[in-house]
Amino acid sequence: MVEFEVKAYPELWQELDMDVERFDKARQMLGNAYAAMYLSQRNRPGKMAYFDTMIAEIHGGRVQELVDAKKEGRPVVGTFCVYIPEEVVVAANGICVGLCGGSQGSIPDAEKILPRNICPMVKSAFGFKAGRICPYFQAVDFVYGETTCDAKKKTWEILDRLVPTYVMEIPQMKNKRDKALWLEEVKDFKAKVEEVSGKKISEDDLARAIKVINGKRLALQRLTRLRSHNPAPISGKDALLIEQIAFYDEPVRFAEKVNELCDELDDRVKSGHGVLPADAPRVMVSGTPMALPNWKLHHIVESAEAVIVNEESCIGTRYFKDLIDEDRKSMAEQLDVLTDRYMRIDCSCFTPNNERIDQVIKEYRQSGAQGIIHYSLQFCHTYNIEEIRIKEACQQEGIPYLSIETDYSPEDVGQLQTRVEAFLEQIRG
Amino acid sequence: MYVGIDLGSRTVKIAAWQDGELIGHQIRESSFDPHKQSLEMLAGFDPVRVVATGYGRHLAHKHFAHEMITEIKAHALGARHYFPDCRTIVDIGGQDSKVISLDEAGRVTNFQMNDKCAAGTGRFLEIMAATLGYSLDEFGPAALGSAAEASINSMCTVFAESEVISMKNRGVPPQDIAMAVHLSVVSRLVGMLNRVGYGECIVFSGGVARNPCMVKMLAMKLDGVRVVSPAHPDIVGALGAAIQAGRN
Ligand code: SF4
Ligand code: SF4
């Protein structure tokens, strides 16, 4: 078996007041899982090397960058949702890090405090802080929370005891007054970031930040377009990993690396070289986002010789499908277009949410997929219930469809394999 | 000769197929070493091609089977052999139950499986039978002796078991409790059937199809639907795998 090591930085961890011994075990497990699931893939693009390094350095190199930035007085904000106006943080020279919430390992820590029957994402994320087993959580100035679901909304109140947690109200409808509310929230958030960084954000700062984040989103859009070719030039697992890394890497460097990878994929597309033969089933995944290191479904699907070609998810297209107009000059105008862009995210917390249903069908067509797997986490009510409408839309369009509700535990892997493979048999005909 | 092998969680089943006919079959406990067990069972046959299905299909495919298919596809193929027009299959196995819906040509269009828990599976019936002191073979006929309409409210195996025990202590006759257990499994099945949709004829496969009370109650709750079972309901999956072997 191939070896992979997530590098150890015990001194840095000590400095961050972590439970070093426990964390070191988690580090080794992550390394083993990564080797088994990622390095064993066939026909991987060479330019995945950078992203492998990002994982090897996930507990060290990148964390060191954050700690150094903080020493320069730059704010570091931990996030759990794509509804954060990242541009505002970057405008203040700050850093946004998406915090992990995709691991079974931290759930027992959370269950000591939180109720058991809430979604695994909230429990996993909370557990990372409660157990002091995530260096990012230890390094942030504050955590940005939002009101997109009850589990999160109420957990922030408890999390705030462990780490300062700043909550923004996300509207749940898309009317004029909702946008007005959101604009006010963005302004407050800007003031908060200015306070933490001790720096007033200028129009130029914001314009630069909008360009930077647009650049990252453009790179991810390009990656998604390349995946629509058959044979697929990259596995869904690798693409998912890149989408996950998008939430904690330095945005300019990240965009550059994604574009370099895309150049390689471009060549693959031209020469018809794919990760699997052209007759392999192509599947799109839609639903609840998959926080790092949640690779469960992708691994099951791709171990059955199929390829995932799209994620309609916040770890996926919902994060990067919309850009912000770069030509606005005044702060008022800039905040206006920024607010607009965020209001186009079709998270299942919204009602009504017809945009998402249409978007799923649209992405299905664009991605050249042959079926949709809807993925929701247990107790994630908004996605679980919205699933009914996605299913109806798929039935209407004659799209092969499978719905899966699961958590991070390995218990149901055998059953999921059977269901996924039966679904692929359906597609293969 | 073509062979299908169904490596279930509790039993291994083998079916041999030649010239459009089932020409032999075998059923044995999975034992601690299902791989060795399978090889021993296969030794009695001389197939040109082996297709595996069931929980152990990946392992079998890795070691000796030429191809693997899921239980869903296997049951579809097997059930259509006996009932060429059927569009709905119910399979209750040891660890899980499935409802499969087919199009006119016999292709799978939709399916449902029970989630993580054991409610509604063969295992559930087994535990409840044991709690009441019946063997599995006695359980269905005993329930049929009941005219009462007792019911069990809990779907969870653990809670259902304590419900059964407290009914026993209250002096409810065992055949009435047995009937209540059967009805609880049937109502779960009906729920799955409603979600997937069903036709006029339902093929009931898997070991539980030999339980006369299950068959009768299912037909009763789905008024107007014919519930049919092949001669050897346990080997429908293995037969389907064998048919698949013959196709390639
Ligand atoms: S699904 Fe909704 S709550 Fe979750 S990250 Fe996306 S926008 Fe935020
Ligand atoms: S997965 Fe669903 S329930 Fe969990 S935090 Fe996200 S929106 Fe809330």
Distance, CA of A70 to chain centre: 24
B105 touches chain A (CB under 8 A): no
Average pLDDT of every residue of chain B: 91
Identify the nearest ligand to the CA of A79 by its number. 1
Residue contact A411–B96, C-beta within 8 A: no
- Is residue A179's pLDDT more than 90? yes
Residue of B70, B91, B107 to mutate, testing the A interface (most A Cβ within 10 Å of its Cβ): B70
Average pLDDT of every residue of chain A: 96
CA torsion through residues B113, B116, B120, B121, sign: positive
Across the A:B interface, residue pairs with CB atoms under 8 Å apart total 33
pLDDT at B33: 87
CA separation for the pair B192, B207 (Å, rounded): 19
CA distances from A216 to A249, A285, A291 (A): 10, 22, 18
10 Å Cβ neighbour count for B107? 12
User: Residues 6 or more apart from B188 whose CB is under 8 A from it?
Assistant: B97, B114, B119, B120, B155
- Residues in chain B with CB shorter than 8 Å from the CB of A414 are 55
Q: Tell me if A300 sits within 8 A of A416, measured CB to CB.
A: yes
Q: State what percent of residues in chain B have pLDDT above 70.
A: 98
Give the nearest partner residue to B113 out of A419, A425, A429, using CB atoms.
Answer: A419
Give the nearest partner residue to B73 out of A405, A412, A422, using CB atoms.
Answer: A422
Q: Report the first-to-last Cα separation within chain B, whole angstroms.
A: 12
In this prediction, residues B85-94 reach a mean pLDDT of 91
Structure tokens at B216: 């009768």
Identify the nearest ligand to the CA of A287 by its number. 1
Nearest CA to ligand 2 atom 3: A380
B69 touches chain A (CB under 8 A): yes
Give the nearest partner residue to A418 out of B70, B107, B109, using CB atoms.
Answer: B70
In this prediction, residues B52-81 reach a mean pLDDT of 96
- Reference B4, options B244, B242, B233, B245; nearest CA is B242
What percent of chain B is helix, strand and coil (3-state, nearest 5)? 45, 20, 30
Nearest-neighbour CA in chain B from A421: distance (Å): 7
B112-167 confidence digits (pLDDT tens): 987 666 777 888 899 899 999 999 899 999 999 998 878 887 777 778 888 888 89
Nearest atom in ligand 2 to A289's CA = 1
- Beta strand A76-79 pairing with A142-146: parallel
| Bridge partners, A372 (sequence order) | A284, A401
Q: Report the first-to-last Cα separation within chain A, whole angstroms.
A: 35
| Bridge partners, A167 (sequence order) | A145
CA torsion through residues A364, A367, A368, A370, sign: negative
CA separation for the pair A393, A158 (Å, rounded): 39
pLDDT at B94: 76
Residue list, ligand 2 pocket, CB within 6 Å: A 119, 121-122, 148-149, 151-152, 288, 377, 380, 382-383
- Residue owning tokens 């021993």: B40
Structure tokens at A352: 């009504």
What is the SS3 assignment for B27?
A: strand
- Residue owning tokens 């209540």: B180
- Residue owning tokens 């939430």: A247
**What is the ipTM, given to two decimal places?**
0.89
Nearest-neighbour CA in chain B from A124: distance (Å): 21
pLDDT at B116: 60
Q: Cα of A165 to ligand 2 centre, how many Å?
A: 17
User: What single letter denotes the amino acid at residue B171?
Assistant: G
| Bridge partners, A376 (sequence order) | A405
pLDDT at A1: 64
B200-244 confidence digits (pLDDT tens): 999 999 989 999 999 999 999 998 899 999 989 999 999 999 999
A178 touches chain B (CB under 8 A): no
Structure tokens at A269: 């597309």
Give the nearest partner residue to B70 out of A405, A411, A422, using CB atoms.
Answer: A422
Nearest-neighbour CA in chain B from A371: distance (Å): 12
CA separation for the pair B183, A276 (Å, rounded): 48
CA distances from A257 to A19, A246, A252 (A): 33, 11, 9
- Residue owning tokens 């943080």: A89
Nearest-neighbour CA in chain B from A202: distance (Å): 54
Residue list, ligand 1 pocket, CB within 6 Å: A 81-83, 148, 289, 314, 318, 345, 347, 349
Q: Cα of A185 to ligand 2 centre, how many Å?
A: 21
A287: left (phi over 0), alpha (psi -120 to 50) or beta: left
CA separation for the pair A206, A210 (Å, rounded): 6
Task: State the DSSP code for B145.
Answer: T
CA distances from A383 to A134, A148, A293, B187 (A): 27, 12, 20, 27
